[in-house]
Structure 1
Amino acid sequence: MVILTLNCGSSSAKYQVYDWDAKDVLAVGVVERIGLEYSTIEHQALGKDEYKTQFSSPTHKEAIELIISILQDKQYGVIDDISKIGAVGHRVLHGGEKFKKSTLVTDEILKSLKELVTLGPLHMPANIMGIEAARKVMPNVPHAIVMDTAWHQTMPPASYMYAVPYEWYEKYNVRRYGFHGTSFLYTAKRASVLLGKAPRDTNVIICHIGNGASICAVKNGICVDTSMGLTPLEGLVMGSRSGDLDPAILPYIMNLTGVTSQEIDTLLNKKSGLIGLCGRSDRRDVQAAAQAGDAKAQLGVDLECHRLKKYIGAYMAEIGKVDAIVFTAGVGEMGGHIRWCSCSGLENLGVKLDKKKNEIAHCRNAEFEISTDDSPVKVFVIPTDEELVMTEDAYALMAGTYDVHTNFHYSFEDKTYVNKARARGFAKNLETRPELKDILASPR
């Protein structure tokens, strides 16, 4: 049996096919430009040639129909019949306070999701369209939703409430929700394994740094605070999002320039962050420009790391004794300069980064320990695997064995767990970079 996971954006649909019995990834791919004049698909199946083409996809329904078709294709596919798909897991941005854990999709559940669209107007419509389209194409298969916000439902009120009129919370659901939950769940559990502790005995700070970025304080294995808020705009400096700012800036700029609230929303989400500071969002481009003497690019690097360091320090104060700091997601896994800059100066708090290990650790196929041997606080680079969380949740919901993560055991919590797809990739990396083996983070 295989599990299909779908992550539908406004104009895209990412997917993965996982062989539950073999515990291996069979195929991954993405459909882009949905709803435009033409769409594209990039598909890669285990042991087969990559497939790319253009096609017409006015809606997510056509995109998902093509995904199912290519999965059954004799040359590029991985299954011979759609009945081999035992369950489908869908990533959903926002569960509000209604969804504290993953759940199977019903008409009533879809109705509840639609009531939450105002909390995530940029992402939720696409998430829902993807679920509806997949249910039409695969009506007899169990569909599960996995919310980005569910992991953060353990936060205490002092962490999730804002100091605004209380009726805003009562009437309009204004509170901190947090995002990147599946990533934090996976990396928190993996950090416990690497530390040789049970999750309930583990305190870690996790930095999920991609184009979007957030940080999470994990105490005794559960989330107690996070940087993103009602929406994914708050917190760290991101590729195109501002992160934290003085709220008074908004009416100030609106009064001076005449921009509307919708225009301000676009400016803060799509034209701020690193793009706003230096015109670039890809950290590789920002770093290259900074090294070439671009003062604005250097400001972007400095500001991003300064904000990260502030949050790390604040969360260390909040959770007490910290076992480890974890870096994950694209930049967290590959951006050594961001890791180094954000941890430098934290030595008095027990964080000692090994410069050589940090420089070597840019490979997305393995877990690394980049702190010095005598560092009281360990520093790990752990590649995230949100798709695996979605896969295991979907299977368990289908099988009737699922429960909230504090009562549920994931396969990747075991010391013997091996990600076969990454193991293959790491073996290839070792052929040209044997030094990677020396910084592997092995379970204690």
Structure 2
Amino acid sequence: MRAQRPGTRHQGQDMPASTTDDIGYDPFDVTVMGNPYPYYQKLRAQQPVYYTPQYDTYWLSRYADIEDMLQPRNNSKLVSSESSIPMPEVLRQHHAGKPPQASLDPMAPMTLLHSPHYDEVRRAHAQPFTPRAVAQLEDFARRTTRELLAPCLARGEFDLFLDYGGMLSALLTCRLFDIDPALAPEILETVNATTAYDPERGGIDNAQLFLRMQRFMLPSVARRRAAGADGSAPLFDGLINYRTNPDGRALRDEEICDQLTCAFVANTETPGKVAAQGLLELSRRPQQLAEVRADLATNVPVAAEEMLRYCAPAQWFLRTVHEDVEIAGVTMRAGQRVAGLINSANRDEREYENSEEFIWNRPIRKQLAFGMGQHHCLGLHIARLQIRVLVEEFLARVESYEFDLDRAVLRPSYFHCAYTSLPVRVTAR
């Protein structure tokens, strides 16, 4: 099928281009970023495969189409070789059938790599994120959460993300990455600042993000290398001992940091935002809040899945087409791009009844908030642990709470839409 202008619904091969009823979706438009959900509704209903010629990109908005996109048969055809959240300036470069290949020397960040390099690097540092390893962090997470919450409750007013949820995540990042916990506030501030939308360039400066995260991780990598990387610290040791294929080259310390940046950033900023937004949604629905409170141990893990569906901040991820592929009946050519609007898919009426409503105990067949397939989120277990602990400990110790949304900060971004500051007033039990 030929590339079409925005506003065209794809119905058959070689359908003539049209601009009728153009929705005007552009993820880098500040109006869209301010409230993308009405656009998502229109895309799902009218133009589920939406092509933007300026970016040479197809945008998928329905759950089933994104699920199809992420199937294993497409692993070698669809690769994040230009980043999964690129700047608009990247997408304005068109490739005419020659998609860019990620560098192997120096090795590009893991998420940009083809298989088998992607799979090898992922396996080399995956052990700390397995269910068994994450379960061993629960005592630390609960103890830390209670230590954070105690002074907040004494004050009666605090920031649910910056003082509570985000701080737990930053402290867990320090534990995982062998960083002095005194740096946790600086890490949280740096991550939030680095991933903020740049209005002049229209996106996130990925190169700057990786450089800033290296500053925190490089000392830990150097210590492990000096200690011999004997496997007792698998997050680092697996990558220190990894050798590139086929030349057998060891990764430099900076390359190791680049492989870990995605986990570092995602763990620091995402779980606390989901928990904070989820508690806000419950506060808006007193009956649901009462039902969750009736048995926290049983009900919070269920509610956490709905929080992930409804509140997860990631908006979309991109793949570059490396081999011609057909998705949702549309042929996409090598060098073009396809993006999955996961926040739209999570509200797809075809997948969820009353999809625009928050329903704490709704049945969720599959959790798309973490992606699926080859690139499913490595940190899904640790994210679930944090959300569950944050919500359980808060509701167990707080009698009532209300938010000061006039002072809250909802940061628009083309890839992340979430509160970065959420002041709350509480009455402790």
| Normalised TM-score (structure 1) | 0.26
Structure with more of its chain in helix, by fraction: 2
- Higher strand proportion, which one? 1
